Structure 1
Amino acid sequence: MNTDTAQRLARRHADLLVRRGMAITPNGVECIDIACRSGMIVALGDLERIWSAETVLNASGLHILPGVIDSQVHFREPGLTHKEDLEAGTRGAVLGGVTAVFEMPNTQPLTLSALDLKAKLEAAQGRAWCDHAFYIGGSAVNAEMLGELELLPGCAGVKVFMGSSFGDLLADDEEVLRNILRHGRRRLAVHAEDEARLRERKPLVEESGDVVQHPVWRDELSALLATQRIVRLAAETGRRLHVLHVSTADEMAFLAGHKQRVTVEVTPHHLTLQAPECYERLGSLAQMNPPVRDRHHQDGLWQAIRNGIVDVIGSDHAPHTLEEKTRSYPQSPSGMTGVQTLLPVMLDHVRAGRLTLQRLVDLTSAGPARIFGLESKGRIALGFDADLSLVDLEAHRVIANDWIASRSGWTPYDGLAVYGWPIHTIIRGNIVLRDEALVGTPIGQPLRFLEPPLAQPA
Structure 2
Amino acid sequence: MRVIRDAALADGRRADVRLDGDRIDAVGDDLDGELLVDAGGKLLLPGMIDVHVHFRQPGASHKETWTTGSRSAAAGGVTTVVDQPNTSPPTVTGAAFDEKDELASASLVDYGINGGVTENWDPDSLFGKPLFALGEVFLADSTGNMGIDAELFAAAVERAANENVPVTVHAEDADLFDESVLPRNTGDASASEAGGGGRTDADAWSAYRTAEAEEAAVERAVEVADGSGAQVHIAHTSTPEGVDAARAGGATCEVTPHHLFLSRDDLPDLGTFGRMNPPLRSEERRKAVFERLREGAVDVVATDHAPHTREEKDASIWDAPSGVPGVETALPLLLNAAREGELSYERVRDVTAANPAEIFDLPRKGRIEAGRDADLVLVDTENARKIRGDELHSKCGWTPFEGFAGVFPEWTMVRGEFAYRDGEFGSACGENVRR
Structure 1 residue 306, shift from structure 2 partner: 3.3
Determine whether 1:17 maps to 2:17. Answer: no
Give the whole-Å Cα distance in 1 for the aligned partners of 2:79 and 2:8: 19
Query: Quick one: which amino acid aligns to residue 38 of structure 1?
Result: G
Contact 1:77–1:108 (8 Å) recurs in 2: yes
Closer, same or farther: CA 284–109 of 1 in aligned 2, 3 Å:
same
Deviation at 1:61, TM superposition (A): 3.4
User: Hey, what's the Cα distance between the residues in 2 that align with 1:155 and 1:257?
Assistant: 25
For 2:253 and 2:180, the matched residues in 1 are separated by: 26
Instruction: Give the match for residue 442 of structure 1.
Output: 428
Q: How does the TM-score come out when normalised to structure 2? A: 0.92
Q: Deviations over 1:350-402 (max 9, x none)?
A: 12222100011000000000000013000101011011011111002111012
Match of 2:418? 431
Match of 2:280 in 1: 292
- SS in structure 1 of the partner of residue 403 of structure 2: coil
Residue 348 of structure 1, aligned match among 312, 318, 336: 336
Distance 1:255 1:80 in 2: 33
| TM-score normalised by the chain length of structure 1 | 0.87
Contact kept, 8 Å, 1:249 with 1:296, in 2: the verdict is: no
Of the structure 1 ranges 380-389 and 227-236, higher mean CA displacement relative to structure 2 is found in: 227-236
Q: In the alignment, is the contact (CA less than 8 A) between 2:294 and 2:347 conserved in 1?
A: no
Q: Paired residue for 2:211, among 220, 242, 262?
A: 220
The answer to whether 1:86 aligns with 2:62 is no
How many aligned positions are there? 419
Q: 1:201 to 1:391 in 2, by over 3 A?
A: farther
Distance in 2, matches of 1:201 and 1:289, equals 19
The residue identity in structure 2 corresponding to 1:192 is A
Other-structure match for 1:36: 19
* 1:408 shift after superposition: 0.8
C-alpha separation between the residues in 1 aligned to 2:17 and 2:397?
A: 35
Secondary structure of the 1:181 match is helix
For residue 130 of structure 1, what is the aligned residue in structure 2? Answer: 109
Q: Residues 297-446 of structure 1: matches in 2 within 5 Å? A: 297-418=285-406, 420-435=407-422, 437-446=423-432
The CA RMSD measured in Å over matched residues stands at 1.8
* Residue 176 (structure 2) aligns with: 197
Q: Retained in 2: the 8 A contact 1:432–1:440? A: yes
Aligned with 2:33 (options 51, 66, 75):
51
1:154/1:442 CA distance change after superposition, 3 Å: farther
Q: Residue 367 of structure 1: SS of its match in structure 2?
A: helix
Which shifted more, 134-143 or 93-102? Answer: 134-143
Return the alpha-carbon distance in structure 2 between the equivalents of residues 430 and 296 of structure 1. Answer: 43
Deviation track 1:298-340 (CA, whole Å, cap 9, x = no partner) reads 1221232234221100011000100010111210111111000
**Structure 1 partner of 2:238:** 247
C-alpha distance 380-311 of structure 1, shift in aligned 2 (>3 A): same
1:116 matched to 2:103? The reply is no
State the Cα distance separating 1:154 from its structure 2 match.
5.2
Superposition pairs of residues 142-221 of structure 1, within 5 angstroms: 142=121, 144-145=123-124, 149-150=126-127, 152-153=129-130, 155-163=132-140, 164-167=142-145, 169-171=146-148, 173-184=149-160, 185-198=164-177, 200=179, 203=182, 207-221=198-212
Query: Given the alignment, which residue of 82, 97, 106 partners 1:102?
Result: 82
Q: Tell me which amino acid in the other structure corresponds to 1:176.
A: L
- State the shift of 1:17 in Å: 1.9
Shift of 1:202: 5.9
**Contact 2:94–2:128 (8 Å) recurs in 1:** no
For the residues of structure 2 that align with 1:150 and 1:269, how far apart are their CA atoms? 32
Q: Tell whether the 8 Å contact from 1:130 to 1:444 is kept in structure 2 after alignment.
A: yes
Say whether the 8 Å CA contact 1:286–1:412 is kept in structure 2.
yes
Residues in 2 aligned to 1:114 and 1:331: alpha-carbon distance in whole angstroms: 33
Task: Give the greater-gyration-radius structure (CA).
Answer: 1
Percent identity of paired positions between Structure 1 and Structure 2: 36
Structure 1 stretches lacking a partner, 5+ long: 1-13, 450-458
Letter in 1 for 2:158: R
Distance 1:183 1:201, change over 3 A: farther
Please tell me the residue identity of whatever aligns with 1:265: E
Q: Distance in 2 between matches of 1:241 and 1:138?
A: 15
Distance 2:102 2:178 in 1: 38
1:390-439 deviations in whole A, cap 9, x for unaligned? 11110021110121111111111122233x2211101101112223x224
